[in-house]
Amino acid sequence: MDVEFIPPSGVRDLMARVERARHMVTDRFPNAPGRLDDPAYWESVFEANAAAVLDVLRRVQLPSTHAVRYRFYGRAGGDLLVRPFVARTTTDVSTIRRLIDWHPAPDSVAPALRAQATQDVEFLYGHFTYERSAFGFFEYWVAMQELWASARWVHSRVIADANDFAEITGRAQWRIEQQVERFEPAVILDGDGGAQLAVLLHCHLDRASVALYRIEIRKDQTVQFVEAIPVAHGPRGYVM
C-alpha cells in the first residue's frame, strides 16, 4: 500500500475555505446568549456552521434533501457538549433530540471506550458521499472534525508542510521531542474501501503542542482516532 501526501497548497486552500465558513457563522451570531447553556441558541450556531462548511467542500456531499442537525447537552468547563446527526430537512427533530444520548467526539474518546456502540453510522456518517481518493478521505476527515466541533479541534491547526512546523516550533519555549521525516498529511488507501491518515496538528489548549495523529476511516465511513504521538511542546496555551 502506497503512502500519498496531500499537497501543502491543497491543505491550505481547504483549511482557508473552512475558516472563512466559520467566520461567516460568527458574523451571523455575534452575541452570546443571555443563558450560556441555551440549547436553542447553540443548536442553531452548530447547524449553521455545519451548513456553511459543507457548502465550501468540493469532495464531500450530503444530499440536498438532508441537513446536519444537533442536540446540545450543556457545557463542561469551556467545552460545549453536542452531538451531530443527519435528518431530512422536512423532519421535526424534537423527538430525535430527546432520544439520542451524548458521547464524546471521536478525537476525545479514550481507547477503552472505542468499542462501545454509538449508532453514528446510521445517524451521521452513512449519509455522506465523498471522493475515494487520498484528498477525498482527507477532506472527509476535516468535514467530520468540523461537524463534531470538539474544543480540541476548534483550537487546532493542520500543519501543511515543513515551513509550518518550523514557524511554530521556532518560537520561544518550544522543544522538539520527536523527529518527523514528512510534514504533509499522509493517506494510505485500504483495499476494503477505508483509509489510514497521519496528520500533524498544532493545538493551543492547555499546553501548546504538536502531535502526529493517526486516524482510521473504516469502510462504513466511521472515523476512529488510533493514537496521538507527541512531537513538540510549547508554552502554556488556552485553559479550558
pLDDT digits (tens, 9 = 90+) for 31-75: 877 777 899 999 999 999 999 999 999 999 999 999 999 999 998
Report residue 61: phi and psi, to 5°.
Answer: -135, 145
Q: Torsion angle of alpha carbons 120, 124, 129, 132, nearest 10°?
A: -40
Distance CA 236, CA 74 (A): 26
Coil, strand, or helix at residue 210?
Answer: strand
Q: Tell me whether strands 195-203 and 207-217 are parallel, antiparallel or unpaired.
A: antiparallel
112, pLDDT greater than 70: no
Domains of the chain, residue spans = 3-236
Q: 2-12: b or e for each residue (b if 16 or more CB lie within 10 Å)?
A: eebebebebbe
How many residues belong to the chain? 240
What's the pLDDT tens digit per position in 124-180? Answer: 999 999 999 999 999 999 999 999 999 899 999 999 999 999 999 999 999 999 999
Q: Please report which helix (H) or strand (E) contains residue 26, including its range.
A: helix 8-28
240, pLDDT greater than 50: no
Across the range 68-84, mean pLDDT stands at 91
Contacts of residue 208, defined as CB under 8 A and 6 or more positions apart, other chains included, come to 174, 202, 233, 234, 235, 236, 237
Given a contact cutoff of 8 angstroms between Cβ atoms, the answer to whether 200 and 212 are in contact is yes
Distances (CA, A) of 191 to 4, 60, 151: 14, 20, 33
Over the chain, what is the mean pLDDT? 93
Across the range 1-8, mean pLDDT stands at 93
pLDDT tier for residue 113 given thresholds of 50, 70 and 90: low
Distance CA 44, CA 71 (A): 10
Given a contact cutoff of 8 angstroms between Cβ atoms, the answer to whether 105 and 153 are in contact is yes
Given a contact cutoff of 8 angstroms between Cβ atoms, the answer to whether 5 and 161 are in contact is no
Whole-prediction pTM: 0.94
Q: Please, how many CA atoms are within 13 Å of residue 55, restricted to the half-sphere of its CB?
A: 13
Query: 197, exposed or middle or buried, with CB in 10 Å at 0-12, 13-18, 19+?
Result: buried
Distance CA 228, CA 221 (A): 20
